[in-house]
């Protein structure tokens, strides 16, 4: 069975392996043991905080997917309570400017990229990665969607708006057409290095070196223009999943690779609206439907996918599933039918 649980310091080796596997352009998982250990510590501290001590918003919840048969960690998924609280959080916003002179009969509409911190303080879905060996069945969807049960259950720890930064276009060598332009004019470093530095949290160089004035899109090389708001091929399924949940692109893109950032009001996320709190009953689930189920215990959070029978007010689980979730008959869980097949 695959179970999602909070990361612990014992998972450092596994996280390092996942970071190596994730490769270039995966900003939030830099191959840097010290940084990953700090991320784990930050997550452990966030899970340990009481509900009343979360005002700062400086919490991050890092979860791993474990194969309970082998004990192997096969993926990771995370949530940040509020971005941009202790540092600046950057985006480019794609807007328009009209240059119009009725007297001369000239009317031009331009697209502009403007550097901004508009998403400061929102919650973020981040760091989703599933090992190649386990990319099958519903695993990827489970790893992504479990975060909605988490958000729903621990709603007060999060902001009104939730975003997800999608990986932009880059090739196998890590060359990004959008970055190439920035690199040529403003930075003297390769995309992997810039991405790595920002992933380490060393972001002052962004404020120091990024173009200070809005950029007219028409003046960018065609290759750079073409990837604004476009996702990396491998990220297409993730974007599709979020779109189905209600996430939309509002013109915000990553400042390095121009990949889109999508957003949704927390209370409008489909899985959050549809999830239910139900009481556990133990029994036979042969006639059940595939259901994503999470317990309601923050520090011992568990989430999995299993057959379950939805009855009025309660949810029938088999013993193994209940054990994996650490729940017994009468306990509360949060659940949502996974697919209405
Ligand atoms: N692909 C990147 N590494 N972009 C730079 C980081 C951007 C991100 N929004 C931040 O401010 O942290």
Q: If the chain, 341 residues long, is cut into consecutive pieces of 10 residues, what is the mean pLDDT of each piece?
A: 98 96 82 95 97 94 96 97 96 97 98 98 96 94 97 98 95 88 94 90 93 96 98 93 97 97 98 97 96 98 97 93 98 90 43
Task: State which ligand 1 atom lies nearest to the alpha carbon of 89.
Answer: 11
ipTM, 2 dp: 0.98
Question: What pLDDT digit, counting tens, does each position of 209-245 carry?
Answer: 999 999 999 999 999 999 999 999 989 999 999 999 9
Please indicate whether residue 93 is annotated as part of the active site.
Answer: no
Of these residues, 110, 232, 268, 300, which one is catalytic?
232
Asked if 2-92+116-271 and 275-337 have one fold, the answer is no
CB 256 less than 6 A from any atom of ligand 1: yes
119 lines ligand 1 (CB under 6 A): no
State whether CATH 1.10.3210.10 applies to domain 2-92+116-271: no
Query: What pLDDT score was predicted for residue 340?
Result: 54
CB of 124 within 6 A of ligand 1: the answer is: no
CATH topology (fold) of 275-337: Barwin-like endoglucanases (2.40.40)
pTM exceeds 0.80 for this model = yes
Q: Assess whether the C-beta atom of 80 lies below 6 angstroms from ligand 1.
A: no
Residue nearest to atom 7 of ligand 1 (CA): 90
Residue 259 CA, closest ligand 1 atom number: 1
Name the residue at shortest CA distance from atom 9 of ligand 1: 90
Index of the ligand 1 atom closest to the CA of residue 168: 1
- Secondary structure (H, E, C), the chain: CEEEEECCHHHHHHHHHHHHHHCCCCCCCCCCHHHHHHHHHHHHHHHHCCHHHCCCCCCEEEEEEEECCCCEEEEEEEEECCCCCCCCCCEEEEEEEEEEECCCCEEEEEEEEEEECCCCCCEEEEEEEECHHHCCCCHHHHHHHHHHHHHHHCHHHCCCEEEEECCCCCCCCCCCHHHHHHHHHCCCCCHHHHHHHHHCCCCHHHHHHCCCCCEEHHHCCHHHHHCCCCCCHHHHHHHHHHHHHCCEEEEEECCCCCCEEEEEEHHHCHHHHHCEEEEEEECCCCCCEEEEEEECCCCCCCEEEEEEEEECCEEEECHHHHHHHCCCCCCEEEEEECCCC
The residue to mutate among 83, 165, 175, having the most atoms of ligand 1 within 8 angstroms of its beta carbon, is: 165
**For the chain, what are the domain ranges?**
2-92+116-271, 275-337
Tell me the CA–centroid distance for residue 90 and ligand 1, in Å.
6
* 341 C-alpha to ligand 1 centroid (Å): 38
């Amino acid at each position: 069975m695959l179970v999602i649980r909070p990361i612990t310091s014992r998972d450092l080796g596994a996280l390092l392996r996942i970071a190596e596997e994730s490769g270039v352009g995966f900003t939030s998982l830099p191959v840097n043991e010290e940084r990953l250990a700090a991320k784990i510590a930050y997550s452990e501290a966030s899970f340990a905080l009481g509900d009343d001590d979360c005002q700062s918003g400086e919490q991050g919840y890092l979860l791993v997917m474990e194969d309970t048969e082998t004990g192997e960690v096969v993926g990771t998924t995370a949530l940040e309570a509020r971005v941009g609280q202790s540092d600046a959080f950057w985006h480019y916003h794609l807007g328009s400017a009209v240059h119009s002179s009725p007297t001369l009969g000239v009317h031009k509409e331009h697209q502009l990229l403007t550097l901004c911190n508009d998403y400061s303080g929102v919650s973020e879905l981040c760091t989703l990665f599933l090992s190649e060996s386990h990319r099958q069945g519903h695993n990827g969807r489970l790893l992504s969607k479990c975060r909605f049960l988490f958000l729903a259950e621990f709603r007060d720890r999060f902001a009104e708006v939730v975003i997800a930064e999608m990986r932009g276009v880059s090739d196998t060598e890590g060359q990004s057409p959008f970055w190439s332009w920035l690199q040529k004019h403003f930075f003297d470093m390769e995309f992997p290095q810039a991405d790595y530095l920002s992933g380490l949290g060393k972001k002052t160089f962004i404020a120091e070196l990024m173009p200070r004035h809005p950029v007219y899109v028409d003046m960018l090389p065609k290759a750079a223009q073409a990837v604004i708001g476009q996702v990396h091929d491998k990220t297409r399924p993730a974007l599709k999943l979020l779109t189905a949940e209600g996430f939309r692109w509002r013109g915000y893109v990553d400042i390095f690779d121009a990949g889109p950032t999508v957003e949704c009001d927390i209370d409008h996320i489909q899985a959050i609206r549809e999830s239910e709190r139900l009481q556990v009953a133990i029994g036979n689930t042969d006639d059940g439907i595939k259901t994503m189920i999470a317990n309601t215990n923050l520090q011992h959070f568990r989430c999995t996918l299993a057959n379950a029978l939805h009855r009025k007010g309660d949810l029938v689980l088999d013993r193994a599933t209940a054990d994996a979730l650490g729940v017994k008959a009468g306990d509360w869980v949060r659940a949502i039918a996974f697919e209405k097949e």
